[in-house]
Amino acid sequence: MTYLDHAATTPMHPDAIAAMNAQFALVGNANSLHGPGRAARRVVEESREAVAAALGARPSHVVFTGGGTEADNLAVKGLYWARRAEDPRRVRILAARIEHHAVLDALFWLEQHEGATLDWLPVRPDGSVTAASLEAALAAEPQTAALVTLMWANNEVGTVLPIRELAEVAHRRGVPIHSDAIQAAGHLPVDFAESGLDALSVTGHKLGGPLGVGALLLGRETKLTALQHGGGQERDVRSGTLDTPGIAGFAAAVTAARAEQPEEYLRLCALRDKLIEGVLRTVPDAVLSGPPLSEPGAKPDSESADRLPGIAHFCFPGCEGDSLLLLLDARGISCSTGSACSAGIAQPSHVLLAMGSTEELARGSLRFSLGRTSTEDDVDALLEALPAVVSRARAAGLS
């Protein structure tokens, strides 16, 4: 199998597997006061310290969740409710239409059920959002702004946003800002303190950890209303019994990803660029999404990256993305489309539409994403199979 869908989920890191295996045979609720409970609590708190150290945060900032979707919902809804409770005029949420559905659908729910007003920032053709556009939007009615939420890096096309600049703009207007950093963490030097963010979402399975475990990094002074109530765990903003084995695996994965990030960034950039150049050579009318390629010979720099190292997204004119995906899958190559499927009907990617793509072109999109286990052989296998697959998909579309 040639696996090119690491942005969906990536294989677990050996360190994460070992950390979880060490806990599976043990018993103890981290909230219990007896010996096994205290031992579980020790694992949780040491994991909290490890996650904080890897992501430039304090341990008290780390709120463990059941994954990225929960972290995004907790941040967006919790910040909105807390801000509106302080001042009923604060109902405006500033965001962009390139967000993951974990954020988008939470925003739509707040609009439909909680009186939120959604203020959509313009998206440039490369998938980026500028600090100037946020400044202009906030300047209009800063007193009505509840929060800003903008992703660190886009999960479909890989565009990296200028998060530090965006946070500076939000704070000048006294508005809290959240970022979904689920795709960025582990691939870029994500630093919560340096970013200036008030809240940041991460999850385990995107960076070599287990499924179903994530975290919301939340500033100590940031007010947030809880979504669920119970035992008061995690600063009383996320009640629920903690998954000690999962948290241990998550912490091990984050630690390993941060240690390996500088070298792995350079390796994946080279592999990604080989993939992009090969696709454009073998399928000349393929359209690369996101920022343009760097100049030949330019040294990759993760501190100023405008594209994630492991994502290459294309549109193939005259093709349906689902047809391309299934044809590649039949050849043992796994990737993803840029479209979401609702009720069995393929819809063009909301990200591409926000970037100005036509619906027809957006329907023919594929995302190839690389990770720790990706090799040149994987890229070569794709480049060998892709021209024939594209030709067959186009022929099927004409019949």
Active site residue 341: yes
Residue identified by tokens 């903008």 is 150
- Decide if 44 contacts 348 (C-beta within 8 A): no
Percent helix / strand / coil, the chain, rounded to 5: 45, 15, 40
The CA distance from 38 to 50, in Å, is 18
Query: What is d(CA 321, CA 95) in angstroms, rounded to the nearest whole number?
Result: 27
Q: Residue written as tokens 């990617």? A: 349
| Token pair listed for 352 | 């591409």
Question: Which conformational region is residue 212 in: left (phi greater than 0), alpha (psi within -120 to 50 degrees), or beta?
Answer: left
Q: Which residues of 133-149 are buried (b: 16+ CB within 10 A; e: fewer)?
A: bbbebbeeeeeebbbbb
| Identified catalytic residue from 315, 319, 335, 341 | 341
By C-alpha distance, which of 83, 151, 86 is closest to 117?
83
Distance CA 221, CA 207 (A): 28
Whether 148 contacts 175, CB under 8 Å: yes
Task: Name residue 160's beta-bridge partners.
Answer: 153
User: What is d(CA 364, CA 313) in angstroms, rounded to the nearest whole number?
Assistant: 11
If you search the block for the tokens 């979880």, which residue do you land on? 20
Active site residues: 341
